[in-house]
Amino acid sequence: MRRAIVILLAGAILAACTAEPEDLSLAPEPLGDFRLGHNIAIADNVVLGPFSRELSEQALETELQNAVAKRLRRYDGDGLYHLGIVLGGLVLAQPGIPVVYAPQSVMILDVSVFDNVTQQRLNPEAKRIQVGEGFRNMVPLLGSGLVREADVQLANLSQSAAREIEDWLNENPEWFIAKPERARVPFTISTPAPTVVNMVDEEATN
């Protein structure tokens, strides 16, 4: 599986990009009873693509969690759902040669969503998401590595990933059908979180 991630990273550098992000100060359309609970990102086994810059595991996890929280905590349903995100592959592009080699940055992650009440994962298999820095942030001729520091590249990738996660959740509204018989679920730091072993398919981590 690690070899497959490396191949994906190599191919995605030229192709993976997302649309320009919208204004996150605007309230989204409700998504059933969805409200974000625990938002856990894990980067302890991330595969770095060819010539990638490096950032600490903590930096990768924190930036991704912050981007997801900024986007998904706008939803205020009465239910509670937890996200488990495993960062599988990453390229933070280094400087290259303009036109001949204009490196772009890429992120590959596996996502699972859990219902707080049942503690069960709602998606049968972890969702594989692959993103670039986005059309707004692409530098086609110069390359991201020539004009941006690694932390800026990571922020752009994390924002693109958060948008893809939001789109994926909205494609599955049946997971978040409002349940009038349930009282609003409170969320505190002591709310049970999904265990790491259940966040992603075992074969996806090997």
User: Using CA atoms, how far apart are residues 13 and 194, in angstroms rounded to an integer?
Assistant: 32
Q: What is the dihedral of CA 146, 149, 153, 155, to 10 degrees?
A: -160
The token pair that represents 86 in the structure block? 């495993």
Are 137 and 98 in contact by the 8 Å Cβ rule? The answer is no
Share the mean pLDDT of the chain.
Answer: 79
For residues 41-66, give the mean pLDDT. Answer: 90
More confident residue, 179 or 107: 107
User: Using CA atoms, how far apart are residues 36 and 116, in angstroms rounded to an integer?
Assistant: 10
pLDDT of residue 146: 45
Residues 93-135: tens digit of each pLDDT: 876 434 434 457 889 999 999 999 888 999 999 999 999 875 4
pLDDT of residue 27: 87
pLDDT of residue 200: 60
For residues 147-168, give the mean pLDDT. Answer: 88
User: Using CA atoms, how far apart are residues 62 and 87, in angstroms rounded to an integer?
Assistant: 12
For residues 170-187, give the mean pLDDT. Answer: 89
> If you ran DSSP here, which 8-state letter would residue 97 be given?
B
Q: Identify the structural domains of the chain with CATH numbers, from first to last.
A: 2-182 (3.40.50)
User: Using CA atoms, how far apart are residues 157 and 86, in angstroms rounded to an integer?
Assistant: 14
For residues 21-25, give the mean pLDDT. Answer: 73
